[in-house]
Amino acid sequence: MSRSDSGESDLPQNAHHVGSEAELERGESILAEVDGIEIAVYHTEDGYFAISNFCVHQGGPLCEGPVTGTLGQDDDGKLCYEEGTQVVRCPWHGWEFDVETGEHLSRPEYSQPTYDVLVRDGEVYVRW
């Protein structure tokens, strides 16, 4: 993710407008279509992130899945709930992906494609 408020004039040619910061409050997501490709754009505590909406398993619509934390292990090996990692769960079969990296939680070889997000003057763009 990148962020700059220096104006639209320095936008790269491959930046596509997907919404405004007002439409995409922290904790929210929007579905964008860029050149026929569906991209899910998320606003997390750490910024804006974009991943393919087409689940790498069988094409489920990720943007329709819940975004939550996930289970992890503490220093003693006990299961604990990690709120810091934002995970989207595919609504079709439950595969879980890190919203910020697109990685499948246990099988990184099945990660989702990710895209850079830019913010200029309150508007959100995905680089494609």
Question: Judging by beta carbons within 10 Å of its beta carbon (0-12, 13-18, 19+), is residue 61 exposed, middle or buried?
Answer: middle
Is the separation of the CB atoms in 41 and 117 below 8 Å?
yes
26 binds ligand FES (CB under 6 A): no
66 binds ligand FES (CB under 6 A): no
Beta partners for residue 81, in sequence order: 71
Give the binding-site size for ligand FES (rule: CB under 6 A).
10
93 binds ligand FES (CB under 6 A): yes
Binder of ligand FES out of 39, 55, 87, 119 (CB under 6 A): 55
Question: Judging by beta carbons within 10 Å of its beta carbon (0-12, 13-18, 19+), is residue 31 exposed, middle or buried?
Answer: middle
Shortest reach from residue 113's CB to ligand FES, in Å? 14
102 binds ligand FES (CB under 6 A): no
Binder of ligand FES out of 19, 37, 57, 64 (CB under 6 A): 57
48 binds ligand FES (CB under 6 A): no
CA 88/CA 38 separation, integer angstroms: 16
Half-sphere exposure of 29 (CA within 13 A, CB side): 25
Contacting range for ligand FES; rule: CB under 6 A; set: 6-14, 38-46, 76-84, 92-100: 92-100
Cα 89 from chain centre = 12
92 binds ligand FES (CB under 6 A): yes
Q: CB nearer to ligand FES: give 71 or 80.
A: 71
